Chains A and B, each alone.
Chain A
Amino acid sequence: MSGQLSVGLNCPSCGGAISVSEGESSLNCRYCGSTLYIEGDNGVNTVAFKNKLDRDAAIKATKAWWRKGFKARDLKSAGAITEVYPIYLPFWSIGTRVAGWVCGYEEKTTTDSKGNTRTEREYKEEMVLMDLSFSEIACDPGDLGIRSLRNFNGEASFEDMDMIPSFESTTSRDDAMAHARADAMARGRASARIPNITFESLHVLVRKLSMIYYPVWVARYTYQDRMYIATVDGVTGQMLSGRAPGDPLYQSLAVTAGTSLGGLAAAGGIIAAFTFQSEIGIAGVILGLIVLGGTYWFFRHGSEIIEGDFADRKQLASLKKGQLGSLLGGARI
């Protein structure tokens, strides 16, 4: 490596050394007072949040989480935490403002006492003006189950950065910015609450871009020779994500409740359809099938409890639609 790699920075007016931090785009020279504009790669304004948790607090949060939900009943006795350590994860934090107009209509169907149905269109125009925060992890999250920030507040301090291993940013700033714009557009559109949109004019302004290094505690634990991980927010102490073993008892209880309640709802629906009103009947049958589908899902995949933004959880969710379809198809025969 040679001197080529580094560039010394001087004030172009007086030649004095200048002091600039990452992300700044303009400054005044300390010596001659000239206003200077920084061209080129000026980086991103970076903050690190101070870690507020210690080892014991992270262990305590993980153990409390073990007891919640439909996790294995013997997890609190058979689970053993083997390793707990903090890391800094990089996040793009982008503040946006979305403004504009959305026009369209909502269709309302009414049935009068004679059984005639009428569909009316109600025209709407809504103004949108919102300030939004968007965040996105700036590296590959691997199996940590974290993709965005839930908390944007913390005490800014770089003093832990040398002590705690920090994951490096490996994604593009402009990709993150494009995602923030798309997110603001979608949220702005959704806030208008218009089902059929005929015209829209929405603009997104990026107001602030920064990189937040956020402290996260990773807890590894074993259960029956298997190794699981869970993560704890290093600022608020809340659980962020984790995997845990499920319990066959809960799985079978779920499917027993689902088949019985779902089956009776469907039976009630069939009776209602033949005796007085077909709409209530059909609603009953559909409700029964939805209850069945949901509990079947837990029965089939409840052997592992997954909380957080994991890639395989998304795959399972897309699989769910397909399997639910085949299940409903099977139930119709």
Chain B
Amino acid sequence: MAEIKCPKCAGPVQFDAGTKFTKCSYCSSQIYIDRSGAGFYYAIPFTLSESDAVGTFKRWAGGSTKAKDLDRLAQVTKVTKKYFPVYMFRRDVDGREEVLLEPAGSTILPGLHRLKLPGGDLQIFDAQFNTSGAEMVQPDIAMTHYLSSLPGKAKEQSLVYFPIWELEYRFKGTDYQVVVDASSSEVFASVFPTRSSLAYLAVSTAGFIAFVAEGLLATVNLYAGAALMAITVAAVFASSLYVARRL
């Protein structure tokens, strides 16, 4: 919660991040909060603990496009808790409202150069805000740098700190990095060990071709075709189960 003075009676009026209109609790006058001339600082609280972040990474690492057993074999070597800054500008461009996100700091972290602001409960970032021990990544580009070059008229400008867990892990001698968004659990990674589709394709195509051949054979010799089909069913089932479990 932030506080302003009521323009009528000068009493303290509290307002939240999304509030546009509010009422003074002392003189009950209606107040419009004009954000166009000021810069706001917001932060999104952490909803993922360190173990939640590691668990989310393991869920991601267990996905079908990742190397088999990456979730079990990856060794998490370092976990860092950070607040990452991004600028959010709300502008009136020829009568249309536009939201523009701009970088506040340069980064080589995966996913974060794509510039997005994960959904979250924006809270006013002031001395009372509890950063819960996270490292604050300092913005190295000033807000005023953008203000002069952005199109349209200002409606609101803010610096938003969003919470991330930065994980480093080692898999088969190589180090990788992922970022877990600690508000909505999204995982960002640019490079990761992948799984080959070859074994999956091989089992499927071999099984298919065998059945086509046996289907044709069955029209000539029903018993031989049926017997071979039974064997193929067992073979495809066993090999696919092995592939799904191990490869």
Contact = CB atoms under 8 A, between A and B. Distances in A.
Interface of A: 1, 3-9, 17-22, 41, 43, 82-83, 85, 87, 89, 137, 139-144, 165-175, 220, 222, 225-229, 243, 245, 248-249, 251-253, 255-256, 258-260, 262-264, 266-268, 270-271, 288, 292, 295-296, 299-304, 312, 316, 323, 326-327, 330-331
Interface of B: 2-8, 13, 17-18, 20-21, 23, 27-35, 37-38, 45, 47, 52, 55-56, 58-59, 62-65, 71, 88, 90, 96-99, 116-122, 155, 181, 183-187, 197, 200-201, 203-205, 207-216, 218-219, 229, 232-233, 236-237, 240-241, 243-245
Nearest to A271: B219
Given A6-B34, A8-B30, A140-B118, A263 B215 contact: yes
Given A5-B34, A8-B31, A142 B219 contact: no
Which of A139, A142, A171 lies at the interface centre, i.e. has the most chain B CB atoms within 10 A of its CB?
Answer: A142
Contact of B37 (A5, A9, A43, A226): A5
A195 to B, nearest CB: 33
B241 A252 contact: yes
Given A9-B32, A144-B185, A248-B244, 7 more contacts: A6-B5, A140-B119, A175-B99, A252-B243, A263-B212, A268-B215, A303-B63
B211 A141 contact: no
A273 B205 CA distance: 22
A201 to B, nearest CB: 25
21 contacts: A3-B4, A6-B31, A21-B21, A89-B119, A142-B184, A143-B186, A144-B184, A172-B96, A172-B99, A228-B59, A252-B237, A255-B236, A255-B240, A259-B204, A263-B207, A271-B216, A292-B204, A296-B204, A303-B63, A304-B63, A327-B204
Secondary structure of the B contact surface, majority rule? mixed
A312 B59 CA distance: 13
B119 A323 contact: no
